[in-house]
Amino acid sequence: MKRWARELGFDAAQIGDADLGAAAETGLAAWLEAGHHGEMDYMAAHGAKRARPAELVPGTRRVISLRMNYRPPAAKPSEAVLADGEAAFVSRYALGRDYHKVLRNRIQKLAERIEAEIGAHGYRAFVDSAPVLEVEAAARAGLGWRGKHTLLLSREHGSFFFLGELFTDLPLPIDPPLPQEHCGRCTRCIDVCPTQAIVAPYRVDARRCVSYLTIELKGAIPEELRPLIGNRVYGCDDCQLTCPWNRFAVDSAEADFAVRNGLDDVSLAELFGWDEAAFKTRLAGTAIFRIGHERWLRNLAVGLGNAPTTPAVVAALQSRRDDASALVREHVAWALERHGQT
């Protein structure tokens, strides 16, 4: 099965038990109780089922966790984009095709390959789209350990990878978890977070996280957090970029994750000029598409508000001063005020 997974483009596959342990359930409950999930009500909707795969999919005995590297090899260096105030930074995972589609298709093919070998079996594929504690499942299967930024870390591959799961009722042999984690006393991810969203080791307050603010949040971005977002218009990679283990990160060999539409090296003003038709045409099939044009403009307005005051930046903002969307107008007005424009 592991060989078949590699043949399908996965970089690793490990098998874990369906019992994720009491610690996972307790940690989830505490995180939800603190309100750290923000508007992500779906995180609470299934309650303890997230930590109990056999309750989510009755009959589940094992969880096959799969890893696929996503960092595109030809992308402009992230540090260079972040340092250019007029450029738009898009999280590296979103530069290519929507990973949900890529991984789900491959996991389904893996399940069908298993079925062709042994006959019908109960299974269900997951890719960040259902109540699954994917990092916990992957850690228990030995794919890596949970870093202090809450992402899965691998000594050999860092953290620039996607995770997917195949729940199965097959009594497969279980891979042991790693004997220890390897973050030690390092706090680089905590220290570098632009909004200080990592409120404690292994605990993220999503309400402050740039990824949440630019992707999950549907309404206005809290004004006090806008200046801290900088030019990050879709997601944030800072905690990964600073992590020492990512010196071992491996670029993706998957063509679907190659950069599309030049999003690794494009100005905020240029993207702000896209109308809705251009947005839909150019970003169809990407992860960005799901936030919609309105929130995309909201994010870009914040980025332009944090950009250097140049004629191009001010002109871009002025062009949408009277935008049809109240959400966009609010963020444009804030951005123009930042540039001394009333």
Catalytic status, residue 237: no
Regarding whether 33 and 106 lie in a shared domain, the answer is: yes
Alpha-carbon torsion (125, 129, 135, 136), positive or negative = negative
Residue 8 lies in a domain: yes
The per-residue DSSP string of 317-331 comes to HHTTTT-S-HHHHHH
Regarding whether 275 and 195 lie in a shared domain, the answer is: no
Regarding whether 124 and 21 lie in a shared domain, the answer is: yes
Stretch among 42-56, 193-207, 268-282 having the lowest mean pLDDT: 42-56
| First vs last C-alpha separation in the chain | 62
The range of the structural domain enclosing residue 27 comes to 2-74+94-254
> Would you tell me how many other CB atoms lie within 10 Å of the CB of residue 33?
10
pTM over 0.85: yes
Q: At what angle do helices 326-338 and 311-318 cross, to 10 degrees?
A: 150
Q: Are 285 and 97 in contact (CB under 8 A)?
A: yes
Regarding whether 102 and 11 lie in a shared domain, the answer is: yes
Regarding whether 213 and 289 lie in a shared domain, the answer is: no
Stretch among 127-131, 263-267, 273-277, 292-296 having the lowest mean pLDDT: 127-131
Q: Are 328 and 274 in contact (CB under 8 A)?
A: no
Contacts of 311 (CB under 8 A, 6+ apart): none
Hey, what are 173's tokens? 């042999």
Residue recorded with tokens 């947005």: 279
Q: Which residues pair with 141 in a beta bridge?
A: none
Alpha-carbon torsion (331, 213, 238, 73), positive or negative = negative
The residue among 291, 327, 322, 147 whose CA lies nearest residue 219 is: 327
Residue 19 lies in a domain: yes
Does pLDDT of 48 surpass 70?
no
pLDDT of residue 56: 83
Residue 80 lies in a domain: no
Catalytic residue among 17, 19, 98, 128: 128
Residue 149 lies in a domain: yes
Residue 262 lies in a domain: no
Count of domains in the chain?
2
Regarding whether 246 and 286 lie in a shared domain, the answer is: no
Regarding whether 13 and 157 lie in a shared domain, the answer is: yes
Residue recorded with tokens 């260079």: 80
The per-residue DSSP string of 239-303 comes to HHHT-GGGGG------GGGS--TTTTS-BHHHHHT--HHHHHHHHTTSSGGGGHHHHHHHHHHHH
Per-residue burial over 304-332, b if 16 or more Cβ lie within 10 Å, else e, is bbbbeeeeebbebbeebeebeeebbbbbb
CATH number, domain of 320, equals 1.25.10
Tell me the average pLDDT across 28-47: 68
What pLDDT, in 10s, does the model give residues 234-279? Answer: 999 999 999 999 999 999 999 999 999 999 999 999 999 999 999 9
Residue 249 lies in a domain: yes
Tell me the average pLDDT across 94-99: 96
3-class DSSP state of 132: coil
Regarding whether 340 and 206 lie in a shared domain, the answer is: no
Using the 3D structure, point to which of 202, 232, 254 is the last residue of a domain: 254
Residues 99, 294: Cα–Cα separation, whole Å: 22
Does pLDDT of 45 surpass 70?
no
Residue 89 lies in a domain: no
Residues 270, 9: Cα–Cα separation, whole Å: 34
Residue 87 lies in a domain: no
Higher per-residue pLDDT: 252 or 131: 252
Using the 3D structure, point to which of 225, 254, 283 is the last residue of a domain: 254
> Would you tell me how many other CB atoms lie within 10 Å of the CB of residue 15?
20
The residue among 258, 183, 248, 206 whose CA lies nearest residue 35 is: 206
